[in-house]
Structure 1
Amino acid sequence: MARLNLLEETRYEKLPVSVYKSQQEASIAVAGRIAALIKKKSEKGEKTVLGLATGVTPIRVYAELIRMHKEEGLSFKNVITFNLDEYYPMQPTAVQSYVTFMNENLFNHIDIDRNNVHIPDGTLKQEDVAAFCLNYERQITALGGLDLQILGIGRTGHIGFNEPGSAPNSGTRLVTLDDLTRSDASRDFGGKQNVPTKAITMGIGTIFKAREIILMAWSGKKAPIIKKAVEGEISGEVPATYLQLSDHVDFVLDEAAASELTRFDTPWLVKDCVWENNLKKKAVIWLATTVKKPILKLTEEDYNNHGMAQLAVEQGPVYNINIDIFNQVQHTITGWPGGKPNADDSQRPERALPAKKRSIIFSPHPDDDVISMGGTFIRLVDQGHDVHVAYQTSGNTAVWDDDVLRYMEFTIDFNGSIGEDNTHLKNIYNEMRTFIAKKQPNQIDTQEIRDVKGFIRKTEAIAGARYAGLHDDHIHFMALPFYETGKIKKNSVGEEDVLITMELLQKVKPQQIFAAGDFADPHGTHLVCFNIILAALNRLRATEDWVNDCWLWMYRGAWFEFETWEIEMAVPLSPQEVLRKRAAIFKHQSQKDTPVFPGDDVREFWVRAEDRNRETAKCYDQLGLAEYAAMEAFVRYKF
């Protein structure tokens, strides 16, 4: 019976899927499978032939294999590896090369025979690539094929570098990279313009010959393409769908990557549900959106025709369900994000008391505050709350080199105009120009350049916060140490990061905190900064009474927005308030037009913010609620 229930739940899924609570848990499971295979074959005196992947996805798998080698004696002496791909052209010593990646993340830490390591050669002359690829295939075939191939998946649906349009029987070859793939790699190369346009990759046909295939995916960023790969039709437009034809494949996902699969996203379509309130709210809003009706116009027929008959039977009549959910959504709307004084707050998202709250807005980067909640920021100040803003990192990697020279030239001219000796400044400026002229992609800037980039972002943040109405003594720059590496890759969070945060919290003793809950941030900084806030609050909770009366609200907007059913506070913005928010964002001039790290959304940040805020308001309007120009959305974090 349990197996029948599982088959019913997964009936939309066209290949096996294993879902783990976290990336760490899933990675350990995959590493365990690899280790078991190596041990089994070693006991028989046989070699294990592994197909390996690069990128962020397998890093924790490799870390666990290294741990097992060092702590449990797992040996790789009888292991032969073939990597999926390599950029072309690419020097093996380059920091972006997959040779460097594999050495740093695996090979330098285990006892593998380097003669058994095979990675496509990015240094070949182009006329020699075809012969190399043919030989790569022959080497794999001579060893009896791959025992196990591990894969990640790109947002185009590529596996290896088999981009959309790849043939299912393709072999190892030179390919042209998709524009989105190059955009995703741009951060590693210091800009998309530095990403190679080609790569050497194993073909889909080569991958298919492996006796076992494990495709891994982590985070909500991968959820849309995972849904297409698992539940969609087989298509060359999504190369990973070809894996549906294999009898030896397993998709290993964390919960976030699996979140858009039918059994998790709309479970009422595949099974009976326990209708707790959040699921009911999600389902009714989904139904209204699907049939394009306001909530209060949904009928029993709508429920029955869309997998929600069980809800109608258990909690109906449906009109009562509609009224309940309509009221819940309506009660999230408030023009008083700090709480409305002298009002009944039993059905409002924020408390009425204290009437004037101490609030801290934590901003991971120096512009997240105004991009994601600029309208609410301004309204909190206008309504008389004691608002502080805390910029958690300097953001000094996200400024163009040209801006550094421009600001230095301004400083030199200004100093000269007031009779200051510019000799030292000019020397620094000349050193900067020389360095920038020879700078390699993602090379660490000199300390002076990093300082100027940090100063640029700091002055922009001050201008934005002042525009929102804050005095200088309420603007805090934390410069958390984990960020200050000068590199794209940041350090792990340390004790000092938490202590700096605790000190500010103890100083302000806020009743209300706003923090970035936009964990789809492609750089990872938002999640790191949020976890630092949680660590600080959890420590203070043991000794500071005020913490128990402090509410933590999460905001989004720079990258994604909350789903309508998730929203617990929706702050409507008038057309004039939208313009005020835009003006605050414009204070961040270094991030206008084209920022250094735009992510995969080509729109400017102010455009993204306005579009998302308008879309949130439109969703509310279509559900039958009041029509507003825009809305900023928040979810309260439950400790």
Structure 2
Amino acid sequence: GIGPDGHIAFNVRGSDHNSTTRLMETNFETQATAATDLGGIEISKNRLVITIGLASITFKDDAVAIITAAGEAKASIVKYSLENLPDVKYPATVLQRCENSRFYLTHGAAKLLDDTEKQYWENSNWDDVKKQRALLRLAKRKNIFGKKLSLDDLEHDSLCKTIPGLGEGTAPEIIENIHAKVQRGIKDESNQVYYHTGPHHDDIMLGMMPHIIHLIREPSNSHHFVNMTSGFTSVTNGFITNILSFTLEFFLQGKIQMTDFPDFFSEGYKLKWDKDVFHYLDNLAKLDKSEQNRALAHRVIRGLIKIYPIKDKNDLGVRINSIISELMDCYDGEKNSIEIQKLKGIIREYEEELVWSNYGVRVQDIYHLRLGFYTGDIFTESPERNRDVLPILKQLKEIKPTVISLALDPEGSGPDTHYKVLQAIADAVRIWNDETDLSHLRIWGYRNVWYRFDLAEADMIVPVTLNSMAIIRSTFMNCYLSQRDASFPSYELDGPFCDLSQKIWVEQHQDLQLMLGRDYWYQNENPHLRAVHGAVYLKEMDVETFLTVARELEESMEGFPLSNN
């Protein structure tokens, strides 16, 4: 394989091409990538690796060296490794010494190679997407705003000169189409039912929260937030141990008064789960950290009684101490018991309720499906229709959404859970479509920290203000308590996911600004657009288009089709 920084056999970026087999530290990109296999970056960042040096790999001129790469996320580093001269910045370039070195690539991983791009530009139809890509590429190459590109600039560009019907109106027409995407992104909507889905608990926020903030202000719209998995793998043992410790302290101090009610351990714990949410948010407003912790402790105790056979207060204290001892005895990366997995999942679910309650969403409109394929194993099961699809289908029939939002990562990019959730949703929509007329249904695909749409791919562009960025960061850091220091970070940024999302939105806005011009923003008649410094890209599809995209993605991935069990 090849890492995001180009490492092969753990020879990270910057490794000398004459290096030998050695014991060494890794860089952040490698640690973040290895976190998935090792149980979290807390483990991978503290591990040395034994690497076969680049000189050792290429010692024999006739050595056979095979590199495999899958997914569009690897496309850039594959291009640099194959098409650059030997350079320590790209360790795999050393394989140019070996006649028998080969790269085996999926279509997505080969996407940016010169041969692949040449085929795209020469053989595909000139649709709007291709025209926008060509004009953006020209604007970047010449460092000129899109609307200032002349016909002469286009005629002397190797790509733009082949646009059919090229004329004075070509560039303005392309720019107008991009402007229309922005207008779709700020369009007011009313009387809509939104079914927002996330593979993990922070995916919706990181993918499209600036748009949701705008839509949620319209009272005729209803929003339903659906978390497909319990997300327990992203909660560390240290985090849950700390929570249990202060929960026990509050309990022993008599500050969890709900446990004094006579029926609490049989029936009472089932009531007022939403009260824990507002207890936390009230004290977030008061800046009272101790009371925020006490609110969380209430939810933890409800969860413990739901999971374990706890009969009274004495049982509760014993059980909390027992769980703390169990966690202290675990080695880093060890798979937890089913009970602790459930407890960690309850923490993630509480965090999600905190997030959306910030914006007036009722707790009863936040759902936790806990799909069964998500087990915490390195190699998880494929979704099954009865276990994983039918719960989604049941909700779709009950809620009857007019818009479904979902994570839409390309082949081999993003966590495996994203792909499996997408296929489960697609199968549910496919069944629903066979039974009901869904011609009115819109599907919004979002991407977040794992991959991104380019400007041309997006159908809707949602402007993001500094105010929205500040709100989102505050919400993330105050509500996603377990993710302030994520166990499975992106290799792109050593920091919280909200900061990476902001970085992506700003970069996307820079492309948008290059095409539309700076004055489009700061001189705009719309005050909202004058305040914009970022952009969220979304893809809008009808049902047939979405099902086609899901099927093509399934065919491009290795593995088995959805089980009918």
Pick one of 367, 375, 381 that aligns with 2:216: 381
2:223–2:365 Cα contact (<8 Å) kept: yes
Q: Match of 1:403, SS?
A: helix
In the other structure, the counterpart of 2:131 is: 280
Structure 2 counterpart of 1:548, one-letter code:
S
Q: Deviations over 1:58-95 (max 9, x none)?
A: xxxxxxxxxxxxxxxxxxxxxxxxxxxxxxxxxxxxxx
2:108 corresponds to which of 216, 240, 256:
256
Residues 582/381 of structure 1: CA separation in 2 closer, same or farther (3 Å cut)? same
Name the structure 1 match of 2:322. 431
Q: Could you say if the C-alpha distance between residues 614 and 240 of structure 1 is closer, same or farther in structure 2, counting changes exceeding 3 Å?
A: closer
Could you tell me which of 167, 183, 191 is aligned with 1:356? 191
Query: Contact 2:68/2:103 (CA < 8 Å) preserved in 1?
Result: yes
- Mark the CA change 1:512 to 1:306 in structure 2 (over 3 Å): closer, same or farther: same
Choose which of 481, 484, 500 in structure 2 pairs with 1:608: 500
The reply to whether residue 307 of structure 1 matches residue 128 of structure 2 is no
Question: In 2, distance between residues paired with 1:165 and 1:583?
Answer: 36
* Alpha carbons 1:219, 1:254 under 8 Å: kept: yes
Query: What do the CA deviations read for 1:280-302 (whole angstroms, capped 9, x no partner)?
Result: 12111221122122222112343
Contact 1:334 1:572 in 2 (8 A): no
Q: Could you say which residue in structure 1 is the equivalent of 2:538?
A: 634
Q: Which amino acid aligns with 2:178?
A: V
Q: Does structure 1 retain, via aligned residues, the 8 Å contact 2:182–2:462?
A: yes
Counterpart amino acid of 1:539?
A: I
Report how far residue 423 of structure 1 moved: 1.9
Corresponding position of 1:238 = 90
**Are the counterparts in 1 of residues 67 and 102 from structure 2 also a CA contact under 8 Å?**
yes
Alignment pair present for 1:599 and 2:448: no
2:516 aligned partner = 624
Question: 2:177 maps to what in 1?
Answer: 328
CA offsets 1:534-554 (integer angstroms, 9 cap, x no match): 111112111121x33211111
Contact 1:442 1:487 in 2 (8 A): no
**In 2, distance between residues paired with 1:460 and 1:326?**
41
* Cα distance in structure 1, aligned partners of 2:88 and 2:209: 43
Local SS of the residue matching 1:279 = helix
Deviation, 1:335, is: 6.7
**Alpha-carbon shift at residue 242 of structure 1 (Å):** 2.2
Tell me if structure 2 keeps the 8 A contact 1:566–1:635: yes
Distance 1:165 1:308 in 2: 35
Aligned-partner SS, 1:513: strand
Over the residues paired in the alignment, what is the CA RMSD in angstroms?
Answer: 2.6
CA distance, structure 2, for counterparts of residue 557 and residue 336 of structure 1: 17
- What is the rounded CA distance, in whole Å, between the counterparts of 2:329 and 2:381 in structure 1? 26
Distance 1:368 1:518 in 2: 12
Structure 1 distance, partners of 2:313, 2:248, is: 6
CA offsets, 1:379-409, max 9 Å, x none?
2211231211111111111112233233334
Change (3 A) 1:267 1:394: same
1:479 maps to 2:479: no
Alignment of 1:366-377 (within 5 A): 366-377=201-212
Matches within 5 A, 1:46-445: 152-164=1-13, 173-179=21-27, 180-195=29-44, 196-201=47-52, 203-207=54-58, 208-210=60-62, 212-265=64-117, 271=122, 274-308=125-159, 310-311=161-162, 314-317=164-167, 319-334=168-183, 340=188, 355-384=190-219, 385-415=221-251, 416-417=254-255, 418=257, 420=260, 421-445=312-336
Count matched residues.
468
Tell me the SS of whatever aligns to 2:356. Answer: helix
Quick check: 1:457–1:588 contact (8 Å CA) kept in 2? Answer: no
CA contact (8 A) 1:400 1:590 kept: no
* Structure 1 residue 200, shift from structure 2 partner: 4.5
Instruction: Name the SS of the counterpart of 1:629 in structure 2.
Output: strand
Q: 1:425, CA displacement in angstroms? A: 2.0
Distance 2:116 2:230 in 1: 38
Following superposition, the deviation at residue 325 of structure 1 comes to 0.6
1:357-377 Cα offsets, whole Å, 9 max, x none, are 111110111111122211211
The one of 432, 451, 456 aligned to 1:560: 451
Rounded to whole Å, the distance in 2 between the matches of 1:614 and 1:309 is 27
Q: CA separation of 1:300/1:266 partners in 2, compared to 1, >3 Å: closer, same or farther?
A: farther
TM-fit CA distance, 1:304: 4.2
Alpha-carbon spacing, 1:486–1:278, altered in 2? closer, same or farther (3 Å): closer
Please name the residue that 2:469 is paired with: 578
Residue correspondence of structure 1 range 31-42 to structure 2 within 5 A: none
Residues in 1 aligned to 2:144 and 2:100: alpha-carbon distance in whole angstroms:
44
Matched, 1:590 2:439: no
Letter of the 2:95 counterpart: L
2:245 & 2:63 partners in 1: Cα distance? 62
- In 2, Cα distance between equivalents of 1:373 and 1:206: 44
Q: Which residue of 1 aligns with 2:417?
A: 525
Q: Is the 8 A contact 2:62 2:98 kept in 1?
A: no
- Does the C-alpha gap of structure 1 residues 398 and 268 become closer, same or farther in structure 2, counting only changes over 3 Å? closer
Per the alignment, in what secondary structure is the counterpart of residue 184 of structure 1? Answer: helix
Please, which moves more after superposition, 244-253 or 564-573?
244-253
Tell me how far apart the structure 1 counterparts of residues 65 and 141 of structure 2 sit (CA, whole Å).
36
Calculate percent identity across the aligned residue pairs: 23
Distance 1:504 1:529 in 2: 15
Q: Is the 1:404–1:449 contact (alpha carbons within 8 Å) kept by the matching residues of 2? A: no
CA deviations on 1:591-626 (whole Å, 9 max, x unpaired) are: 443112113121212212222223322322221253
Contiguous gaps of at least 5 residues in structure 2: 261-311, 522-531, 547-565
Candidates 388, 398, 419, aligned match of 1:507: 398
- How far does residue 378 in structure 1 lie from its aligned partner after superposition? 1.9
2: CA distance between counterparts of 1:205 and 1:411?
Answer: 54
- So what's the TM-score if we normalise by structure 2? 0.76
Structure number with higher relative contact order (C-alpha < 8 Å, ≥ 6 residues apart): 2
Query: Contact 1:163–1:177 (CA<8 Å) still a contact in 2?
Result: no
The answer as to 2:355 corresponding to 1:464 is yes
2:461 is aligned with what amino acid? A
- Residue in 1 that maps onto 2:338: 447
Provide runs of 4+ in structure 1 moved above 6 Å.
none
Deviation at 1:503? 0.9
Counterpart in 2 of 1:491? 381
Contact 1:281–1:565 (8 Å) recurs in 2: yes
* Aligned 8 A contact 1:405 1:429 in 2: no
Distance of 2:56 and 2:156 partners within structure 1: 42
Report the 3-state secondary structure (helix = DSSP H, G, I; strand = E; otherwise coil) of the residue aligned with 2:169.
Answer: helix
Question: Greater CA radius of gyration, 1 or 2?
Answer: 1
CA distance in 2, matches of 1:185, 1:475: 32
CA contact under 8 A between 1:367 and 1:588: conserved in structure 2? no
1:165 CA drift (Å)? 5.2
Residue 411 to residue 268, structure 1, CA distance change in 2 (3 Å): closer
Partner Cα distance (2:85, 2:91) in 1: 11
Letter in 1 for 2:66: I
- How far residue 279 of structure 1 moved from its aligned partner, in angstroms, is 1.2
Letter in 2 for 1:456: I
Change over 3 Å in CA distance of 1:156–1:620 after alignment to 2: closer
